[in-house]
Structures are given as structure tokens and as C-alpha cells.
Amino acid sequence: MSGNHQNGKKPKGGGPFKLPDLKPFGGWKFTIVYLLILIVGMSLFNYVFLNRVNPTIDFSEFKARISSGEIKRVELTDSYFTGYTAVRPSVSSRTSVRSSYMGSPEQVYRTVPINDPEFIRLMDEKSVAYRAASREGSVILNIIFSWVLPIAFFIFVWRFVVKRLGNMGGNVLSVGQNRAVIVAEGDIATRFRDVAGVDEAKEELVEVVDFLKNPKKYTEIGGKIPKGVLLVGPPGTGKTLLARAVAGEAGVAFFRMSGADFVEMFVGVGAARVRDLFKQARDKAPCIIFIDELDAIGKSRINNIAGGNDEREQTLNQLLVEMDGFDATSGLIILAATNRPDVLDPALLRPGRFDRQVLVDRPDLKGREEILKIHSKGVKLAVGVELGAVARITSGFSGADLANIVNEAALLAVRAGRKLVEQRDFDEAIEKIVAGLQKKTRVLKPEERRLTAYHEAGHALIAAFTPNADPVQKISIIPRGFALGYTLQMPVEDRFTITQSDLLGRIDILLGGRVAEEMISGEYSTGAANDLTKATDIARKMITDYGMSQRFRNVALTSRGSGMAGGERQEPMFQREYAESTQQYVDEEIARVVEAEYDKTKGILGQRRTILDQVAVALLEKETLDEKEFKAIVNPAAGPAVSEALSGAGYSE
């Protein structure tokens, strides 16, 4: 319904005059400020630039210079008499006169006019050229220089400043206004059916939706809905998508803002934006406020080295005050998302603020398959495509990763000139994301190619003869990314706990490539650098994180409060909470564990040298071996015997 026809009534003519709407310009107050700034600026401009004229001399001295013949020409105005020491040349002789005065620049003298009847007679006697200057040209010039140019100058400067500081809002004086993206009621098309793989999180948020739709059901019994819901989980798991689904299901207005949007270079801007955000939200209640990346403004104040006058701390304090300042029955609910809950201030997580924390974790096997179905709705799939097989291969992938796989598969099908996406497109997309882009033009030397083939064959054989290891799906010596080859293992099912023997088995698989290189060349290469890094990390975590050492059994030596939500720590640790002697023991124990597993792996490959050679030769011929081809080379009858021999092997002190 338009504003001119509300309630079905047409506006009557002859109504009172209405002032123009100045809200887009900040209202009347900001308009008056702009005018004052413009007037002051023009006054300063006129004073600095237009009043810088030649100083005046006494009228008697002016006459004396005329009498002496120094002044040759005079311009008469109401304000000043201006004398020049050179005669204005005519058009025909302008060049010659100019050249004659090249050595002596023209002098200008100004004086305030006095009513002297002898002045004109004196100029006639001395043959001084004089004329009265026209006021029309001077008036126009005065207007141009006094008003037009200053206004144009300030408009240019103003536009330049606004463009430079555009990230702070519509204009410099509106930095205190929040920058939330406001989605009107009913404009959000996302629903819970569009979110998969996080069924437990959806169940927790159903109550929030039900409260926004039927608040009386809760208020009549005396219950209160949580004021704030904190969505915690690794990146790409669908926290923002869940928040949009809640707003879409509830059918209320949705305010979306990032935590980084609150803080600017000016002190106090963040707190002002928080106040403005909550003021607008109260006017539109019931509604949902969603703050993405809450850790940008909600970091703990306990270890704040900068002091108590930090801009982020002021923003956090204002957020805490606003969350305490509204009633739980007002229909205003705050959703926030973060992947670093360990760094949040305890005041944010107490009851009455973010009462409920909802974990949005990486999806399991069933969840990954449902996510793939959702993202492949608009994709033309060929007959025989098994999304379940894709879900099994992508263990540990987030929802964003799975969406990227579907898109990459579609792009690969188009690149190959096919109208439908086939299973091989999904396989290639997974390999592209996991291992990197295929380097078809990279040419390896024969010795490097042979070394790479044995390296990957060593990984695959140790994986085949290691109990509880993921089956080998593909082996390739085609360079991808930074790797010259890769071995792809497919997990049979999701695993949430890993035993000590399984960790040691992973170290064995990583060391298999280095062992195979040593067996055929008698020396080491740099090709196993990444494998050694991963093997060392596993051994270190066994000792420092999992308590799997003899001296510090069942003791965790790592620092607390530095982990990523829903996953392992991703940033390096430079702080330890134990003695130097303990660090020495950790280093020695890591070296001992890796060395023991290396010797064990060397013995396994030594017993299977014939199979190792066969796999390497097959790789050199075909460059890629799939699961069936690899199993055909490996003697299945040898599997149980080796498995029994390895079952008793483990990490023992």
C-alpha cells in the first residue's frame, strides 16, 4: 500500500504545505550543521585567498610617484586608485612593449581615494593614462571568487572525504548509526527444510520460533524464552544459515550485523551503534538480531593488556547493558555465531545474556548425504550417481565444503562438454579440493617419477596392512598442488574416538613413503617433508594432549582455553605450562616414538618388497590405480597373516 492511499482514502487537494523529508540527510540538525560548516569555510576561504592584496600607500606618496613619472597608468574605482609603472600596450605593439619590459617587471601601487580636484589635472599634465574600472565585471568576479568557487571547492572536498570514509556510513557524522542489514518480515525465504546435517541444533531453535509465533503459550505458564542463543561451531557448518532459517520460520524482521561492523577508528562509535541497533530492533519487535563473528567484540576482558579504555571493551560493555535492558517477553531475541567460544567474555555467557549455547558441528554420514541432496537439487545428475558414496568419502567436511564439491562437479562436467554430472565428476572435485589442482603440464625426471611411485606405493601398502586403517581408494603419481603424488583413503564410517594403536597406525602410514624411498635409493629426499610434519604432530599430541606417555600418563600438558570450536587447535602454540626438563622429555619421547614406528614400518615393507615393486611398476605404467586395481596387485591371502602380526604391535613403554 502506497503512502498516498492509506486506508483506501485519496488525499484532498489544498492541504497544508509539508516540509521536505530530510531523514536521508540526517534530519534538520545535521542540515544546520552542514550550513554552518559551509559558511565558516567560505569565510575562511575569502579571508585567506581574496584579502591577500597589495598593501596601500599614502595618497600623497601616490601623487609624488605620478609627478616623478614612475606611474604611467592609473585605474580608478570607488575603493582604490591603482597605479602601474608601465603603459598598457596596444595590440599592434604588444610584443615589442612586452619585450622591452622583460628586464624590469611592472610595479603596482594602490591608495585609498581622496576627493582632490587637482588629481585629474596632475595626471593630464604628466600624460598618465587613466580610466574608471567597470563595476559589472568586478561584481561578477567577486561573486565567482567569493561564493561559486568556495562552494564548489567544499563540495569537492566533502565528496572526496565521504568517498574515502564511505566504510563508516552514509556520511562522516553518521558513524554512530548501526550498519545492520535489515530484512523485512516475510522477505526471508530460508526455512528449516533448507538446513540439513544439524538436526540437534534445529531442535534447539524450534522453541525460539515457537515463542515468536505463540508467545502466550510460554508467558501464561510463567516461562521465559532465552534472551540470547549462541551458535557455536567450526567455520562453514551453517550457523548463519540456521539464523536465517529461524527468522524465516518465525516470519519476523531480521537484523544481521557482523561483530567487526561495530568497531571503527573513532572512540565510542561501537557503543553508539549498539544503542542504535537495539533502539531500531525494539521499534520493530518481535524481531531477531543476529551478530555474526561475535568474538570480534566479545573477547574476554580479563587479560586485556591495553587497559580499560579500549574501544572494543566499551562496545562489549554497551552490548551487555543492552542485553540486560530488555524484557524476555518483548519478542526481541538475539542470535550470535562464533567459532571461538573459548575467548568470549564470561559476562556474555552467563544466564540472562546468552542463556543457550547450540553446537553446530560438522555433519555425520547421514547429514552429509542430506546436505548433498539439498545442494544438488538444481544440478542435473546422471543416472547412477551415488551421493551416499560421496558422503562416505567426505568425512570431516563441513556444509560449505560439500556445497563447493557439488558446484565443482558441475563445473567439471561443463568443462568436459557433458550435459549431466557424473560420478567421476564428483570424484575429481573431491580430489581437486583435497589434493589440489592437477598439474598435467609438469614434467618429472625419470628418477623423480620412479621415486614418487615407490613413495606412494609405500603409503598404500602400509595402509593395506594396518588394522583399522581406512581402505585405499586411489593412488596417483600425477602432480596435484604442491604434491608430486597422492594416496586417497576412503573411511568406511565416521569415527569419533581414536585409540592409541590407531594413532600409531596413522604414523606408520605417513612414514611408509619415506621408508620406501630409503629402500630403493638408499637416501632420503624432501618429498616426505609434509608426512614427517603430520607424523610428528600426532606423536606430540599423544604425549602432550592425550596422556599416552610413560612419565605423564593420563596428564594433559597443553594450555587450556585455546582450542577451536568443534575441532582441533589450528593455530600454533608458543606458550607452555610445564618445566624445561619436561619439554626435553617431550622432544626425546617424540623422537623415540617416531623412530620405533619407522623401524616397524621398514620391517613390514621389507617383508612385502615384491608387492611394493609391483605396485610401483603399475603406477609408472598407468599413473593412477583405483581400489580394484590395487587390490588385484596386493595378495589378499597375505593380509590376515600380516594383520595378526601387527595386532600385537603397539606403543608400549
Give the per-residue pLDDT at 258: 83
Give the closest residue to 76 by CA, choosing from 141, 140, 144, 129.
129
What are 615-632's pLDDT values in tens digits? 999 999 998 898 888 988
- What is residue 85's DSSP assignment? S
CATH for 365-435? 1.10.8.60
Is 456 tagged catalytic? yes
276 pLDDT exceeds 60? yes
Task: Quote the distance between the C-alpha of residue 440 and its chain's center.
Answer: 33
Q: Which of 54-68, 569-583, 607-621, 637-651 has the lowest mean pLDDT?
A: 637-651
How does pLDDT run across 49-75, given as a tens digit for each residue? 555 555 788 888 888 888 888 888 888
Confidence of residue 376 (pLDDT cuts 50, 70, 90): very high
* Extents of the domains making up the chain: 20-50+140-174, 59-133, 181-359, 365-435, 446-647
Written as nine digits, the cell of 107 is 610595479
Mean pLDDT (the chain) is: 78
Q: Cα(122)–Cα(138) distance, rounded to whole angstroms?
A: 27
pLDDT at 644 over 60: no
* Element housing 298 (H / E): none
DSSP assignment of 225-247 equals --SEEEEE--TTSSHHHHHHHHH
Q: Is the pLDDT of residue 648 over 50?
A: no
Alpha-carbon distance values, 442 to 229, 437, 445, 480, 595 (Å): 51, 12, 10, 10, 34
Is it true that 181-359 and 446-647 share their CATH fold? no
Query: What pLDDT does 299 receive?
Result: 84
Cα–Cα distance between 486 and 453 in angstroms, integer? 10
Looking at residues 337-357, what average pLDDT do you find? 87
Res. 93: pLDDT tops 50: no
Q: How many residues does the chain have?
A: 653
Q: Is the dihedral of CA 259, 261, 264, 269 positive or negative?
A: negative
Tell me the chain's radius of gyration from C-alpha atoms.
Answer: 40
Per-residue pLDDT at 503? 94
| Catalytic residue chosen out of the listed positions 456, 517, 518, 597 | 456
> What dotted CATH number matches 59-133?
3.30.720.210
Report whether pLDDT(287) > 90.
no
Is the model's pLDDT at 4 over the cut of 50? no
CATH fold, domain 181-359, is Rossmann fold (3.40.50)
* CA–CA distance, 579 with 557 (Å, rounded to integer): 10
Per CATH, the number for 446-647 is 1.20.58.760
